Amino acid sequence: MVKKPLLIAVLAVVGLAHASDLNRTLRDLLFGRSPGQTQPAPTTMGSAPQQAPQSQQTTQTQTERRPRTAELLGGLLAVVGEPPYSPEEERNIGRTVAGGLLGVVPLVRDDELQRYVNRVGRWVALQSERPDLGWHFGVLDTEDINAFAMPGGYVFVTKGLYRQLNSEAELAGVLGHEIGHVIRKHHLRMLQKSRALAELGAAAGRRMEGSSPIAANFMGNFWEAFARGLDKEAEYEADRIGMVLAARAGYDAYGLPTVLQAIGHVSANDSRVAFLFKTHPHPDDRLATLSEAVGSRFDDLPEGKTLSNRFYRLR
Amino acid sequence: MMRLGMTVLLGVLLTLAMPVWATTGTMLRDDPLRAFASATAPVLTQVARGTKVEVLGRQGGWTQVRVGGHTGWVRMLSVRTSETAQRDVGGELAGVIGMGTRQADPGRIVAVAGVRGLTLNEQQLQQARFNAQELERLERYAASRAEAQAFAREGGLNARAVDYIPAPAQARQQSSPWEETQW
């Protein structure tokens, strides 16, 4: 509450200092680029005229900060752009939340399954701009149909969702969607919007364990935001990334939409999809939006592999 | 013995149910119906958004459909598949013996155990207690870069260059950039 006038003041100062290119700066910030970065995001490939906004890992260079600066910077960025967390902070947030989720639902007791999912997931994540984040993938022991991404590279699919899958390409697409949330820092951005910001500021730099009051408070805020779901545009973006990362990894790009079709068949009254449908746009809307975004883009892309023969079936 | 009986019964039910299972679909957008699964294939007819089609199969980004006497291919993302009434009957029959069946596409059968187990909701998450042991277990399964690459090679997967896809045009046409701030 007290911070708001301060933020406006900070914004005003930024505006005055860079009045001439404020527009560009704001646009860069809005689309996930840092204010200092004038170069376009590196393009790995050549065919599309427009590169999707790249989330640069600017935070990785912000290792030393004085608290006051950090607070101001955090406040400013909370309004306009890049989440102000170092990779270590991001990982700590991810571990805390992942540990909490695992406190509610344990992993499926099947080592082979868990290792398989980690191999597929890591291979897909290697195709992203954050290949060496501490990627961890797990299958949760619940019949709920859902998948979750946590900051720092913690990704979960439920056993219920896994049952809907019929090929490695479909798994790759689902994991690619979640990897998309992580690399674009969707949850960190969502957190910035929520009132968790103040507590996070206080917790920054401290190692968070489940028992500390700060962590407990943070978890409460995180779950509240988590249960509300991400912005639907973030979901659509993750869908596009899921298809692209699976395609880059050599898989059939249409694994994710195939899964969306399957989930669309589950009755909305089915309790297994209650949480998923509460936090995501309906699969029909996701398909229609994907359709519009993909258009004829993949027409020349050679068909990838589905690897349904290698797909690990649940015991 | 009991188990064998269940298996046979389930098998019978599935056999009974399978012939009536068919997938229908609804066009999500206008799309040309093509003679084969390629953007360069001749156009047989135009299929309008909202048209009901019979879904026959899929090949890459293409779905084979039957519509208005034509059989051809539309873009996979242009059609939403749906279940038919007949198939629900099969599902309900199977449900009587404590098994639910879910099917994504024709020919796919996935048995779902009757016990749903834990369902996730906000209240549960709010009461979550950090499980360090389970987290350690998760972290033990991590695959290294080299391991993932070897795994990809075994599957004949080759990395390829594919650009990210920008948001569809209308999402970017809003008047003020502030209005589309999602975070």
Cβ pair B130:A296 closer than 8 A? no
* Predicted confidence (pLDDT) per residue in A111-148, tens digit: 999 999 999 999 999 999 999 999 999 999 999 999 99
The Cα B9–Cα A64 span in angstroms is: 67
Nearest CA to CA, how far is B62 from chain A (Å)? 9
Residue of A nearest to B114 (CA): A143
Q: Name which of A12-16, A146-150, B74-78, B86-90 the model is least confident about.
A: A12-16
* Predicted confidence (pLDDT) per residue in B77-115, tens digit: 999 988 654 444 343 343 333 333 333 443 333 333 333
Q: What string of DSSP letters covers A81-119?
A: S-----HHHHHHHHHHHHHHHHHHSPBPS-HHHHHHHHH
| Cα→Cα distances B173→A30, A180, B176, Å | 15, 23, 9
Cβ pair B118:A103 closer than 8 A? no
Report which of residues A297 and A62 the model is more confident about: A297
pLDDT at residue A271, rounded to an integer? 85
ipTM of the modeled complex: 0.70
pLDDT at residue A7, rounded to an integer? 39
**Residue A32 — φ and ψ, nearest 5°?**
90, 10
Pick from B148, B141, B139: nearest CA to A122: B148
For residues A278 and A146, the answer to whether their CB atoms sit within 8 Å is no
Residue A109 has pLDDT above 80, yes or no: yes
Q: Percent of chain A beyond pLDDT 70?
A: 65
The Cα A177–Cα A159 span in angstroms is: 17
Cβ pair B141:A135 closer than 8 A? no
β-pair partners for A148: A156
The Cα B49–Cα B28 span in angstroms is: 5
Report which of residues A154 and A189 the model is more confident about: A154
Region B156-163: mean pLDDT is 97
Residue A203 has pLDDT above 60, yes or no: no
Residue A261 in contact with partner chain B when CB distance is under 8 A: yes
Phi-psi sector, A229: left (phi>0), alpha (psi -120 to 50), beta: left
Give contacts of B135 with chain A, Cβ < 8 Å.
95, 98-99, 102
CATH superfamily of B23-83: SH3 Domains (2.30.30.40)
pLDDT band of B127, cuts 50, 70, 90:
confident
For residues A175 and A124, the answer to whether their CB atoms sit within 8 Å is yes
Nearest CA to CA, how far is B97 from chain A (Å)? 18
pLDDT at residue A198, rounded to an integer? 52
Residue at token pair 């902070």: A89
Report which of residues A228 and A273 the model is more confident about: A273
pLDDT band of A48, cuts 50, 70, 90:
very low
Pick from B75, B76, B77, B104: nearest CA to B91: B104
β-pair partners for B23: B55, B83
Residue of B nearest to A165 (CA): B104
Give contacts of B128 with chain A, Cβ < 8 Å.
100-101, 103-104, 219, 223
pLDDT band of A12, cuts 50, 70, 90:
very low
Interface test with B, best of A22, A116, A117, A123 (most B CBs within 10 A): A123
**Residue B38 — φ and ψ, nearest 5°?**
-160, 150
Phi-psi sector, B102: left (phi>0), alpha (psi -120 to 50), beta: beta
Pick from A210, A97, A92, A104: nearest CA to A150: A97
Residue A177 in contact with partner chain B when CB distance is under 8 A: no
Residue A150 has pLDDT above 70, yes or no: yes
Q: Which of residues 205-234 of A touch B (CB under 8 A)?
A: 209-211, 215, 219-220, 223-224, 226-227, 231, 233-234
Residue of B nearest to A105 (CA): B118
Residue B175 in contact with partner chain A when CB distance is under 8 A: no
Give contacts of A315 with chain B, Cβ < 8 Å.
none
pLDDT band of A167, cuts 50, 70, 90:
very high
Pick from B99, B100, B77: nearest CA to B25: B77
Chain A, chain B: beta-carbon pairs less than 8 Å apart: 289
Q: At what angle do helices A168-183 and A186-193 cross, to 10 degrees?
A: 40
pLDDT at residue B62, rounded to an integer? 95
Give contacts of A284 with chain B, Cβ < 8 Å.
28, 80
Residue A84 has pLDDT above 90, yes or no: no
The whole-chain average pLDDT of chain A stands at 75
Residue A46 has pLDDT above 70, yes or no: no
Region A274-281: mean pLDDT is 86
pLDDT at residue A199, rounded to an integer? 54
pLDDT at residue B89, rounded to an integer? 39
Residue A248 has pLDDT above 80, yes or no: yes
Nearest CA to CA, how far is B71 from chain A (Å)? 20
Residue B173 in contact with partner chain A when CB distance is under 8 A: no
pLDDT at residue B124, rounded to an integer? 76
Residue of B nearest to A123 (CA): B148
Q: Where along chain B do its domains lie? A: 23-83
Residue B122 in contact with partner chain A when CB distance is under 8 A: yes
The Cα B118–Cα A272 span in angstroms is: 10
For residues A148 and A225, the answer to whether their CB atoms sit within 8 Å is no
Residue B78 in contact with partner chain A when CB distance is under 8 A: yes
